Copies of this chain bind each other. A is one copy, B any other.
């Protein structure tokens, strides 16, 4: 199985009542600084403050009645946890979320606020997987993986589909999204390449967690070990389904270091007046780090999310 434009169109219709059609933002001052024409898709203004609401709602509302009755489960310490809890609440089913004991309080509160059942475990991947397996063995819940899941990828792809509608009058030369597990990049690439074959699609990654770039260039999945970056949303390795779609549809993956990412984040906050998380600033950082590549181009960028601890800013 793979994800196609049709899957993304079905996802768009399915999640329409539950998510926001986020706006495209721009700033003449930022364009002057970057030397190109920038259009930002504001997924930090999405439900739960991140594009993750799209994939979670698509996966939850795609379940059969029989599946849905048993609820859903996942392990996540990030935005997917809150998104899945909200989607389950909207469908009136239960969500069991396995979270590491050191998960930020804000994320725990968000999941609780949407009525998710939290199962704390040790902060290791093994403990998370074992705990999730135990929860599902008892309750029979469907696992909704944060990114390595076709319905999740199709849901995230609705971001790209909306870009093709919102920028239809003047299509961009390049679309850039952050890449962590690869759900947003893979889904967006399918939508963009299906409708705008000439448009480049790029992934943007922190230099300190560059498994996607290394995997893409080597032609085989290379696991992320010991990531070192302020981008807490991009620490994970690429998913298998995601990598296959990225190999097929993405043109390149660029990197930027943390100091450029923080500079980009400050530009977004001070010029666009938008609160985005570090991960969301990586595409602009890649533009700033490779000015020759983007000079004079029309560039669409996805702001992936806006959730962060305001008391612990990276500057």
Interface residues of A (CB under 8 A from B): 23, 44-45, 49, 266, 269-270, 273-276, 306, 310-311, 313, 315
> By the criterion CB–CB under 8 Å, are B273 and A45 in contact?
yes
Q: Are B311 and A315 in contact (CB under 8 A)?
A: yes
State whether B315 touches A273 (Cβ < 8 A).
no
Complex interface: chain B residues within 8 A of A315 (CB): 310-311
Q: Are B270 and A273 in contact (CB under 8 A)?
A: no
Contacting pair B44 A269 (CB below 8 A): no
- Taking the full assembly, how many copies of this chain does it contain? 2
**Known A274-B273, A274-B274, A275-B275; contact A266-B310, beta-carbon cutoff 8 A:** yes
Q: Give Cα A276 to B273, complex, Å.
A: 7
Cβ contacts under 8 Å, A273 to chain B: 44-45, 49, 274-276, 306
- Report how far A274 CA is from B315 CA in the complex, Å: 18
Tell me the interface secondary structure of chain A in the complex: loop
Which residues of the other chain, B, contact A313 by a CB distance below 8 angstroms? 310, 313
Complex partner residue of A275 from B23, B45, B49, B274, CB under 8 angstroms: B274
Q: In the assembled complex, how far is the CB of residue A104 from the closest CB belonging to chain B, in whole angstroms?
A: 13
Given A23-B23, A269-B275, 16 more A-B residue pairs with CB atoms under 8 Å apart are: A44-B273, A45-B273, A49-B273, A266-B310, A270-B310, A273-B274, A273-B275, A273-B276, A273-B306, A274-B274, A274-B275, A275-B275, A310-B313, A310-B315, A311-B315, A313-B313
| Nearest-CB residue, chain B, relative to A42 | B273
Q: Closest Cβ of chain B: how far from A38's Cβ, in Å?
A: 16
A-B CB proximity, top 8 nearest: A273-B306, A273-B275, A44-B273, A269-B275, A269-B310, A266-B310, A45-B273, A275-B275
CB nearest to A113 among chain B residues = B29
A44: chain B residues at CB < 8 Å are: 273
In the bound complex, do residue B275 and residue A270 qualify as a contact, i.e. CB atoms below 8 Å apart? yes
Q: Which of A269, A273, A276, A315 has the most CB of B within 10 A?
A: A273
Kindly report which residue of chain B lies nearest to residue A265, judged by CB atoms.
B310
List the B side residues contacting A266 at CB < 8 Å. 310
Nearest-neighbour CB distance to chain B for A18, whole angstroms, equals: 13
Identify the interface centre among A45, A276, A315: most chain B CB within 10 Å of its CB. Answer: A45
Docked complex Cα distance between A182 and B49 (Å): 35
**Residue of B with least CB distance to A32:** B113
Complex Cα spacing A119 to B273, Å: 29
When distances are taken between beta carbons in the complex, the residues of chain B under 8 Å from A45 are 273
- A49–B23 alpha-carbon span in the complex (Å): 19
Determine the distance from Cα of A228 to Cα of B164 in the docked complex, in whole angstroms: 50
Q: When chains A and B are docked, how far (Å) is the Cα of A269 from the Cα of B269?
A: 10
Bound-state Cα–Cα, A275 to B268, Å: 10
